[in-house]
Structure 1
Amino acid sequence: MSGTRFHGIYPSTVLPMRADFAPDWDAYAAHTAHCVLRPGIRGVLINGHAGENFVITRAEKRRAVEVTRATLDGTRLVVAGVNAESSHEAAEEAREAGAAGADAVMVFLPNAFALAHTTAMAVLHHRAVADAVPGLPIFLFQAHHAAGRMAFTSDTLAELLKIETVVGIKEGGWEVDGYDALRRQVRRLRPDVAVCASGDEHLLACMVHGSDGSLVSLADLMPDEIVALDAAVRANDLPAARALHERLEPLAEAIYGAPPAGRATARLKWCLREMGIIPDAAVRPPHPPVDEADAASLRAALRASGL
């Protein structure tokens, strides 16, 4: 599975919900079409963290793949997130995603790995998924540098790269030096694997180091600008890249950087509702909705970013 098939920009979509927290599939299809059916967008990451993959059911994840596949044309790739504490459950999620039409799956580590995580555990979990869907491409997910012990060590990454069906890595470590170290290791061991810079607040810095694409939820709101940023960096047009960074950064900081942490999905949904793209900003508990202080910050960031 070499080549550049999985290179490119992928919005990481949210799952719109109604006030009773039931998925709004019509709104989901409209949201997906709005940010994915655009020039320069390679595909979409669904059922990721932005899609609340830790609080939606396996049936809802499967339905999300089906709706996404029905919404997009055949040229767009669908990468479906797999997130379960049990490796057996993760394997079942992957099977269902592949059967529903996903072109690849992205394996998120069990949240318990933040407390205790060894190379053997990571390999066992990913092998369980790979064995369940032979031939289906797999993306790895490099977790935030502050997510306890969840992020891969270089030794763990080296072992995971031995899985032949691994085609890409969403590098979400949120630390530029760590990103570059991972990129260099992958280039040395598996140059066919796409390394995708995916820290929304520092896309420019990581892209300048070198990137094969990005799977980011900021592209839900500003897909054209992120495509343009990627193109400007590839063209060595630093003034254009900096100008785009200045447009993207206010919103990136307000959504991902402002405390408290872990509020990105609620903030994304609030912005999408404010922009008229989805009708409701509901997020499932335990996350509360955006409060007034957050709303004021987000409204100012939308204006500063030109939205």
Structure 2
Amino acid sequence: MIPQKDRPFRGIYAATLTPFHPDGGIDEETLAEHFRTVTAVAGIVGVLCNGHAGENFLLTRDERRRVTDIARQTIGSSHIIVSGVVAEASAEAALHAADAVAAGADAVLVFPPFSWALSQDPDMAVTHHRIIAEKARCPLMLYQAGVGSAMAYPPDVLAQLVQLPDIVGIKEGSWESAAYDRNRRLVAELAPHVEMMASGDQHLLSCFVQGSAGSLVSLAVLMPEEIVALDRAVLNNERDRALALHARIQPLADVIYGMAPTGHATARLKAAMVLLGRWKNGMTRAPITGISSEETDALRRALATAGLLEACA
């Protein structure tokens, strides 16, 4: 549900996970409870389902649509549902975007195709988003990938994208504070109506301080209260409170997203859900594998530092 107010897409979103049964199918009951739990926290305005953390690239078209449908059924009357779309062909991505809208998404977040990690030219990104917009006919969000990745949009391409019709926000995941600030200032100048949302889980404090309209982060499935509180502390100029929250959030972010291999982030998030007693299993979908005992130990220590394990003891 898009609230009837100015700048309705601002705020903190939890980028949700997709739980699986041991046989590999989606655990719909756990998924519905997952949506309800993360949005029960005051200050969480919605969810990003079918994002990278939700293993969107490993789900079938029908499964992605079903995930969005479950979100609509459980939280659609009270929270914003953003559904992620990733596909190599623009026509296929447009179909998935239309599916998401039909299933109840309020907005679609377009992820760059993974093949763009090899190369892209300025026209590819604009063409891809235009085709999706024409088919979906809904609010769209962009994804700005990490610095050093060929999937990241250079300033000239980002400048074109934010001026396309229907663009309402950016999940800014440059993963570098300087790049985030550069992109933030560019968007503020060319498209001030587009919400710039600092979404690098390891850089929340610095980016919030520079200025952000919200965030779409998977760390919020573990620490929704703390991330909302960090955002509010920065907005209220409560420096000591912000630093105290950062001291709890950052070690966990570093373990989940900063340890090698970084591709284990989703598996670590799921393992944390198990360690906290929230989920029965941390199943991922092949070829993503489980995490090592060393990673599990590091997670357990970081969860303790965050104060989460004590709360569940």
CA separation in 2, counterparts of 1:193 and 1:5?
Answer: 11
Are 2:169 and 1:142 aligned? no
CA separation in 1, counterparts of 2:97 and 2:266?
Answer: 23
2:215 corresponds to: 214
- Report SS of the residue matched to 1:236: coil
Which letter maps to 1:26? E
Equivalent positions of 1:213-252 (< 5 A) are 213-252=214-253
- Report SS of the residue matched to 1:42: strand
2:98 corresponds to: 95
Equivalent positions of 1:154-303 (< 5 A) are 154-303=155-304
Which letter maps to 1:194? E
Q: 8 Å contact 1:251–1:305 — kept in the other structure? A: yes
Equivalent positions of 1:46-85 (< 5 A) are 46-85=49-88
CA separation in 2, counterparts of 1:263 and 1:146?
Answer: 19
Distance 1:21 1:205, change over 3 A: same
CA separation in 2, counterparts of 1:151 and 1:157?
Answer: 9
**Structure 1: 5+ residue stretches without partners:** none
Which letter maps to 1:187? A
Task: Give how far 1:133 is off.
Answer: 1.5
- Deviating 4+ runs (over 2 angstroms): none
What do residues 183-218 of structure 1 show as CA deviations (whole Å, max 9, x unaligned)? 000000000100000011110000000000000000
Q: 8 Å contact 2:45–2:79 — kept in the other structure? A: yes
Which letter maps to 1:75? S
CA separation in 2, counterparts of 1:6 and 1:105?
Answer: 12
Which letter maps to 1:138? L
What do residues 113-147 of structure 1 show as CA deviations (whole Å, max 9, x unaligned)? 0111111000111011100022x100000011132
CA separation in 2, counterparts of 1:138 and 1:83?
Answer: 13
Q: For the aligned residues, what is the CA RMSD?
A: 1.2
CA separation in 2, counterparts of 1:275 and 1:73?
Answer: 27
CA separation in 1, counterparts of 2:10 and 2:224?
Answer: 16
Aligned residues between the structures = 305
CA separation in 2, counterparts of 1:267 and 1:166?
Answer: 32
- Report SS of the residue matched to 1:262: helix
Q: 8 Å contact 1:10–1:216 — kept in the other structure? A: yes
Q: Which has the higher contact order (CA 8 A, sep 6+)?
A: 1
Task: Give how far 1:286 is off.
Answer: 1.2
Task: Give how far 1:162 is off.
Answer: 2.0
Q: 8 Å contact 2:171–2:216 — kept in the other structure? A: yes
What do residues 38-91 of structure 1 show as CA deviations (whole Å, max 9, x unaligned)? 211110000000000111111000000110011115231000000111111100
Which letter maps to 1:152? Y
What do residues 92-119 of structure 1 show as CA deviations (whole Å, max 9, x unaligned)? 0000100111000000011000111111
CA separation in 1, counterparts of 2:306 and 2:41?
Answer: 19
Which letter maps to 1:130? A
* TM-score when normalising by structure 2: 0.96
**Structure 2: 5+ residue stretches without partners:** 309-313
Q: 8 Å contact 2:76–2:104 — kept in the other structure? A: no
2:34 corresponds to: 31
CA separation in 1, counterparts of 2:226 and 2:262?
Answer: 25
Q: Which moved more, 1:16-25 or 1:187-196?
A: 16-25
Give aligned-pair identity as a percent. 47
What do residues 218-258 of structure 1 show as CA deviations (whole Å, max 9, x unaligned)? 00000000000000000011111000000101110110011
- Report SS of the residue matched to 2:262: coil
Q: 8 Å contact 2:17–2:49 — kept in the other structure? A: yes
Distance 1:202 1:260, change over 3 A: same
Task: Give how far 1:3 is off.
Answer: 3.6
Which letter maps to 2:25? A
- Report SS of the residue matched to 2:84: strand
* TM-score when normalising by structure 1: 0.97
CA separation in 2, counterparts of 1:40 and 1:300?
Answer: 27
CA separation in 1, counterparts of 2:186 and 2:6?
Answer: 18
